[in-house]
Amino acid sequence: MVKVSSQSDYIFLFVVVVLIILGGLILISVSSSISQEKFGSSFYYLNHQILYGFLPGLILAFFAFKIKLVILKKWAPILLLINLAFLGMVFLPMVGVSFKGAARWVDLGPISFQPSEFFKLSFILYLSSWLASRTKKIKTKTEFWQTLFAFLVVIGIAAIFLIFQPDISTLLVIILVATLMYFLARTPFWHSILITLIIIFGFLFLIKIAPYRFNRILVFLNPELDPMGIGYQIKQALIAIGSGGIFGSGLGLSLQKFGFLPHSISDSIFAIFAEETGFIGSFILVLLYLIFFWRGLKIGKQSPEKFSKFCAFGITFWITLQAFVNIGSMIGILPLTGIPLPFISYGGSALISELIGVGILLNISKRG
């Protein structure tokens, strides 16, 4: 029998609320001039984020908080198939939308979205259901190879869709989160080693067949190789972060947001945040993500059911990994990936999926 608590994890909820508020404040600061120039309103991007990101995300998060976890487990395979269908729709000429050679969006008239953002969450739910149902088999020696093979097949199907978009950064997030979840299922350690080797060789192959990926790695190692091309974004990001100093220039007083830093409202928003709030603000933001990680793991650890435990770990790993990959790429210790900063970056699809994930975590916490 599952123990149901009358309270969810309020510390976890508080952290998420603070992150969303910070995201709204910095989005106003970064986007106001761009928004005024393009649309004649300083609040276009903020309004769009609220109407098409926060509000639907909040509604869906409420349903995720209320739904019985056994129903979520039962529907996980169907949700994955639906999201796989949406991933396939990006290649259809009537509904798929391409931008700079990447087919990552679906336009259904009044609704447009990025399927890969929802696929991350549906994949975590499916993998949690799959691992929970195969725990006994994983412990059986004769099932080791069957379990590993089935896991690699599921990963392979996801990889095919994402490679052809191409969306390698999403694929990397999914594979890393899936591998961590697989390891936590107490599978043999050599399984994890084998999977890691496959991942390494797979990404080396992807780098080899696409010269621009190799060039990104080279410029990451030495941005001065192409300071006005591939290295321009990281160069401007470092200028923004360095300009912030200890206390920052103040909200709304960034200079890099005025056309110098590419993707300032999305992928590069941390650099503007660091410029305006300084080292102190950046430290607080990182601390918030660390608390999110701690409370998320605690929710998973306290959950008595394997499905909810794997769900909590997977969602926590996913959101935290994206946060630190984004921050790492902005400060130059990781290559640029295009991964958004959770709860902060502009983008409705990402925010909706993250809020649904939060709803599921709060649902699990009240049953722990």
Which burial class, exposed, middle or buried, applies to 259 when counting CB atoms under 10 A from its CB (0-12, 13-18, 19+)? exposed
Give the count of alpha carbons within 13 A of 228, CB side only: 0
- Report d(CA 80, CA 59) in Å as an integer: 21
Question: How open is the CA angle 273-230-197, to the nearest 5 degrees?
Answer: 90
CA distances from 93 to 89, 99, 103 (A): 9, 13, 10
Q: How confident is the model at residue 196 (pLDDT cuts 50, 70, 90)?
A: confident
Average pLDDT, stretch 261-269? Answer: 88
How far apart (Å, rounded) are the C-alpha atoms in residues 360 and 366? Answer: 10
Give the range with max mean pLDDT: 250-254, 267-271, 283-287. Answer: 283-287
In a domain? residue 59? no
Q: Is residue 35 part of a domain?
A: no
**CA-wise closest residue to 81 among 154, 151, 143, 14:** 154
Nearest in space to 179 (alpha carbons), one of 361, 357, 322, 314:
314
Question: Does 300 map to a domain?
Answer: yes
**Contacts for 61 with CB less than 8 Å, ≥ 6 apart:** 355, 356, 358, 359
Q: Which tokens is 22 given? A: 């910070």
CB 192 within 8 A of CB 200: no
Residue 51, domain member (yes or no): no
3-state DSSP assignment of residue 32: helix
Cα–Cα separations (whole angstroms), residue 198 to 152, 195, 210? 10, 5, 18
Beta-strand pair 112-113/102-107: antiparallel
- Give buried/exposed letters for 222-254 (b at 16+ CB in 10 A, else e): ebeeeeeebbbbbbbbbebbebbeeebbeeeeb
Q: Cα separation of 90 and 97, whole Å?
A: 6
Question: Does pLDDT of 154 surpass 90?
Answer: no
Query: Which pLDDT value is given to residue 216?
Result: 76
Task: Please state which of the ranges 115-124, 155-164, 357-366 shows the lowest mean pLDDT.
Answer: 155-164
Would residue 15 count as lying in a domain? no
346 phi, psi to nearest 5 deg: -70, 135
* Residue pLDDT, tens place only, 53-94: 999 999 999 999 999 999 999 999 999 999 988 888 888 887
Whose CA is closest to 242, among 259, 261, 228, 227? 261
Q: Quick check: is 361 in a domain? A: no
Could you tell me if 80 and 125 are in contact, meaning their C-beta atoms sit under 8 angstroms apart?
A: yes
CB 20 within 8 A of CB 54: yes
Does the pLDDT of residue 136 top 70, yes or no? no
Mean pLDDT of the chain: 86
What single letter denotes the amino acid at residue 326? Answer: N
C-alpha angle 319-324-329 in degrees, rounded to nearest 5: 130
Q: Distance between CA atoms of 324 and 319, rounded to whole angstroms? A: 9
- pLDDT at residue 306 is higher than 50: yes
**pTM of the predicted model over 0.85:** yes
**What token pair was written down for 24?**
């709204």
At 89, list the tokens.
Answer: 């729709």
Mean pLDDT, residues 242-254 taken together = 90
246, pLDDT greater than 70: yes
In the chain, the number of structural domains is 1
Domain assignment present for residue 233? The answer is yes
Kindly state whether residue 302 falls inside one of the protein's structural domains.
yes
pLDDT digits (tens, 9 = 90+) for 168-190: 888 889 989 988 888 887 777 77
Report pLDDT for 161: 82
Show Cβ contacts of residue 141 under 8 Å, excluding neighbours closer than 6 positions.
Answer: none
Structure tokens at 194: 């084998």
Give the range of the structural domain holding residue 244, as residue numbers without chain letter: 70-261+270-336
